[in-house]
A and B are shown apart, each in its own frame.
Chain A
Amino acid sequence: MSAIVRAKALRRLFDVSKPWLNRVVEREPKAFLTAVADVDFEIEEGSVYALVGESGSGKSTIGKMVVGLTGPTDGTIEIDGIVITGNDQKAKIAEARTKLQMIFQDPYASLNPRWKVRDIIAEPAKLRGLEIKGLPERLLQKVGLSPEDADKYPHEFSGGQRQRICIARALSSEPKVIVCDEPTSALDVSVQSQVLNLMSDLQEQLGLTYLFISHDLTVVEHMADKIGVLYLGALVEEAPKETLFASPLHPYTRMLFDAAPKLDAFGREVDVPKGEIPDPINPPAGCSFHPRCPLATSKCKKTRPQMRLIGNTRVACHHV
């Protein structure tokens, strides 16, 4: 199998400087927030790759860069072997980008309330110049709604149904890769399971590839084939699902696993994680996890660990 998405040394900075005049008066340099720092990953065709991390870890920014909603500061993204982040071969890039689609977190904000469901679903196909007659009805059936729903407006649906409409819309341009940014975080548990099942079914039927972004470890464990753990913009560990959950190597991954609530841990006294995510504008030197890390030594404070391969796992830590 070949990689359909390949990200190389992906980096994204955001300019968080004060206005020009203030900088001059206060003699401050420009300030940058490093949202994504040198992230490499590959997604096999037909697989589910998950990015997990807490808020501010850069997972959504990576998702946006993959679909082209924002460009990387440095590094490249390839889709099917075509670099889509450059400027040359515009026609080829446009062609490659038709293979991408996205599903967003909040189904209340991502559907235009003034459009009928039919138009919402048909739009991506229309833009690609595909035949749209009967398409919305067909897709609605595919995602478990009825064809008659095509003439309704988004407000007539519940959250779970809206997310199904979002999925139908994503499918209409016949993409190969779908970036799912927290697709079930806004949904209730019982609805979440319905939507996740639908997504697995569709993936199997249509041979889709998902880049699945979530903060919920249980959801990720269910959906993903391979998982990348992000901390403060950097990939700290990446492994196939079974390996990661059986033997997490990076101390941050272990801390995340310990902190996640468990259904059978009645009255469990958690080993409370130390500290919080540091300020991304002034991240700690060396390994950015060292202030919270139980294994940290002086080396961690100075040098940033490189990704190493241990068995099936790629991990960025000096001490595992």
Chain B
Amino acid sequence: MVQPVLSIKSLVVEIPTRKGVLRPVDRVSYDIFPGEILGIVGESGAGKSMTGNAVIGLLERPAHIVSGDILLSGNPIHNLSASEFRKIRGKKIGMIFQDPLTSLNPLLTVGEQLVETIIEHLAVSKKQAQERAIAALEEVGIPAARERIGSYPHQFSGGMRQRVVIALALCAEPDLVIADEPTTALDVSVQAQIIALLKRLCRERGVGVMLVTHDMGVIAEAADRVAVMYAGRLAELGAVRDVLSDPKHPYTYGLMGSTPLASRGLKRLNQIPGSMPRLGALPEGCAFSPRCEFAQEVCKTGSSPFIANVDAQAACWFPLPHTKSRSSK
């Protein structure tokens, strides 16, 4: 079997506060394989970005990893020191953030930033680095790369800037790319271009991609597998087709149903009552139970279901479909 690029095992991240300890990431486990895009979806506060930050060692104090393992190509990275992590970040793990304007240095030209990264991580001369930088820009579809390499980030449009960020993330030939809402700040037509680019690069280079987003449509088009997060926990994990078209977890089901696309032709949109609980006030048992129409006694009082102990794609004691009421609703 192929070794996963990234393997997260029962990861727990905690934030101690005056009012008690919060768990923004609670026993999350998943693998990402080479050439695969794993989508992480969830609403704001579900812990998707926090998981990503834990993987690249950028958790902001006082948040810290309490237990669990993060393996990068089989090697543990969750206990590395800050200086050891610097060697991995950029080299083994590339990053793409939401806002391309804030993730590029406005005072350096695009070429300087690329060359700096390439020289830092690869044993090449400055001249070779320059050539590589041009090749990287060409690969992400920037026209006239040789001329534009001396331009500053503000001279590019939003979509072009995000392409530069992708080139930067990939220039040191990483095994894993973490893309945190890479298209949220972009227009639909540009979003389509960026998604197509990500997919192509991931496939051609065999890079594993963690695609964090709140947009189900983006997941459907880009991801191979998807992990749905709710209140810091994995609600559902599986192949994108299975999870999106036949969700087993009532939360995924509700989330899919509440998109305007799924309610097409209905006068009112389906909605999930209530909102996600705050981390400081998580209900007992399953975190989704207060909003769940199928919740039973065990969901509210028993131990919370986890994918590992439920033996299914969904962390639910009563995975769907278990009633006929679904279609009539």
Interface on A for B, CB 8 Å cutoff? 54-55, 158-160, 188-194, 196-197, 200, 215-219, 221-222, 255-256, 258-270, 272-273, 276-277
Contacts and interface: CB of A to CB of B under 8 A. Distances in A.
A190 B276 CA distance: 10
Contact of A218 (B240, B245, B261): B261
A256 B188 contact: yes
Contact of B275 (A158, A260, A261, A268): A158
A217 B214 CA distance: 16
B71 interface: no
A55 B220 contact: no
B221 A262 contact: yes
Contact of A266 (B44, B157, B220, B268): B220
B220 A265 contact: yes
Interface residues of B, number: 44
Contacts of A219: 260
Contacts of A276: 157, 159-160, 189-190
B32 interface: no
Given A192-B258, A269-B196, A221 B264 contact: yes
Interface of B: 43-44, 157, 159-160, 187-193, 195-196, 214-218, 220-221, 224, 240-241, 244-245, 254-256, 258-264, 267-272, 275-276
A260 B188 contact: yes
Contacts of B270: 193
B198 to A, nearest CB: 12
Contact of B261 (A255, A263, A273): A263
Nearest 5 A-B pairs (CB), nearest first?
A: A261-B217, A188-B43, A193-B258, A54-B187, A259-B192
Nearest to B291: A190
A196 B259 CA distance: 11
B187 A263 contact: no
A268 B271 contact: no
Given A54-B187, A221-B260, A262 B217 contact: yes
Given A189-B255, A190-B254, A255-B189, A270 B261 contact: no
A216 B216 CA distance: 13
A268 B189 contact: no
Contacts of B43: 188-191
Given A55-B187, A276-B157, A266 B196 contact: no
Nearest to A216: B260
Contacts of A190: 43, 254-255, 258, 271-272, 275
B16 to A, nearest CB: 23
B187 A277 contact: yes
B187 A197 contact: no
Given A193-B270, A270-B192, 18 more contacts: A54-B188, A189-B214, A190-B272, A190-B275, A192-B258, A193-B260, A197-B271, A215-B188, A218-B260, A222-B269, A262-B220, A263-B244, A266-B220, A267-B240, A268-B221, A270-B196, A273-B193, A277-B187
29 contacts: A55-B187, A160-B275, A188-B43, A188-B276, A189-B258, A190-B43, A192-B258, A193-B259, A193-B271, A196-B269, A200-B268, A216-B260, A217-B188, A221-B264, A222-B263, A222-B264, A256-B189, A258-B192, A260-B217, A261-B195, A261-B216, A262-B221, A263-B262, A264-B244, A267-B224, A267-B240, A270-B192, A272-B192, A276-B190
